[in-house]
Amino acid sequence: MNDVVLTGDRPTGPLHLGHYFGSLANRVELQGRYPMYVLVADYQVITDRDTPGEIRRNTTELVLDYLAVGIDPARAVIFQHSAIPELNQLLLPFLSLVSVAELQRNPTVKDEIAHSSQRAVSGLMFTYPVHQAADILFCKGTLVPVGKDQLPHVEVTRLVARRFNERYGPVFPLPQALMGEQPLLKGLDGGKMSKSRGNAIALSATEDETAALIRKARTDSDRHITFDEERRPEVANLLTLAGLCLGRSPRELAEEIGDRGAAELKRVTTEAVNEFLRPIRKRRAELDEGDVRRILAEGNERARERAVRTLEEVRQAMGF
């Protein structure tokens, strides 16, 4: 069986540099080597919130981010969760293959519950990993580019695929997680970088917005800049961010900055990030909503054709 890549994001806000170095850069490289499906997981927006928010606008912005960083709709199928009913029908048989205890133990589910904006945690939250299994397996995905925090979901997918194959016959491959260059880039406040926590630099941010965010980033009271992830995590995080954007070692940057302090560190980081984002901003400015609508219509049609075939295999294997 040939490898197939499945990847995607929920349209809950702009993608940021953590997404880029954790997964997006890897996706752009992989699309030239394997068939790729890129999921706009719009149904999953209601997993941890009472309302989906500006779902149409966020979907458009998400696809614009994809196109701006270099995901090519000629080589990747970009599609919406809500447009593929056959994909979602896989959730029922898949849920029968995992226990409640296994879902409750999932560390990513625990983290999402802790940061949920719902008044009460819905049952959908516990099905989240299984829904992601359906996302991966509907297209027989074998390679899944993820950040470190999403690894438990890939393990659930492997569990679902293995148990389905054992119970009903060989239908699904066992997918593998692919880690990006920087699996977990911290936010500017020292915590997990997240679009919902206001500590991230969006790929669509202007130069002035980027500069303002980095000015507010946490550092420490030691003027001499060194790279020490354990003792000086905030300083190390800025050095890591600048190093990733410049393609240089963060230790080397720390040595160059030396006694010039946090102000110089933030200046270097701001210049590095803005220079890195310049071509992404340029490509984004060349696109509009009409491009997004056309790309999604084509992608939804191709993804649904794949989902129909997989669901029929599942029905036959289960004896329906």
Q: Which tens digits make up the pLDDT trace of 55-71?
A: 999 999 999 999 999 99
pLDDT at 272: 98
Question: Are the C-beta atoms of residues 157 and 132 closer than 8 Å to each other?
Answer: yes
Q: Is the pLDDT score of 183 beyond 60? A: no
pLDDT in tens, 74-83: 999 999 999 9
**Who contacts 118 (Cβ-Cβ below 8 Å, separation ≥6)?**
48, 49, 50
Exposure class string for 254-270: b at 16+ Cβ within 10 A, else e = beebeeeebeebbbbbb
Among 145-149, 197-201, 211-215, name the one with the lowest average pLDDT: 145-149
**For range 111-135, the mean pLDDT:** 80
The rounded distance, in Å, linking the Cα atoms of 215 and 223 is 16
pLDDT at 285: 94
**For range 176-199, the mean pLDDT:** 72
pLDDT in tens, 239-256: 999 999 999 999 999 999
Token couple for 36: 């790729």
Residue 176: CB atoms within 10 Å: 12
**For range 201-219, the mean pLDDT:** 94
pLDDT tier at 100, thresholds 50, 70, 90 = confident
pLDDT at 52: 78
Q: Is the pLDDT score of 121 beyond 80? A: no
Considering Cα of 91, then 96, then 97, then 99, what sign does the dihedral take?
Answer: positive
Q: Is the pLDDT score of 184 beyond 80? A: no
**For range 92-113, the mean pLDDT:** 85
Q: Is the pLDDT score of 26 beyond 90? A: no
The rounded distance, in Å, linking the Cα atoms of 226 and 130 is 43
Which long-range contacts link 122-125 to residues 24+ away (Cβ below 8 Å)?
122/46, 122/47, 124/46, 124/47, 125/47, 125/48
pLDDT at 180: 58
**Who contacts 110 (Cβ-Cβ below 8 Å, separation ≥6)?**
none
pLDDT at 3: 95
Question: Are the C-beta atoms of residues 10 and 42 closer than 8 Å to each other?
Answer: yes
Q: Is the pLDDT score of 195 beyond 70? A: no
Give burial (CB, 10 Å; 0-12/13-18/19+) of 41: buried
Among 26-40, 142-156, 199-213, 273-287, name the one with the lowest average pLDDT: 142-156
pLDDT at 67: 97
Share of the chain above pLDDT 90, in %: 72
Token couple for 265: 């560190």
Q: Is the pLDDT score of 193 beyond 80? A: no
Q: How far is CA 35 from the centre of its chain?
A: 18
Q: Is the pLDDT score of 120 beyond 70? A: yes
Token couple for 170: 């060989």
**Paired sense of beta strands 176-179 and 143-146, if any:** parallel
Residue by residue, DSSP assigns 151-178 as HHHHHHHHHHHHHHHHHH-S-----EEE
Give burial (CB, 10 Å; 0-12/13-18/19+) of 277: buried
Give the pTM: 0.89
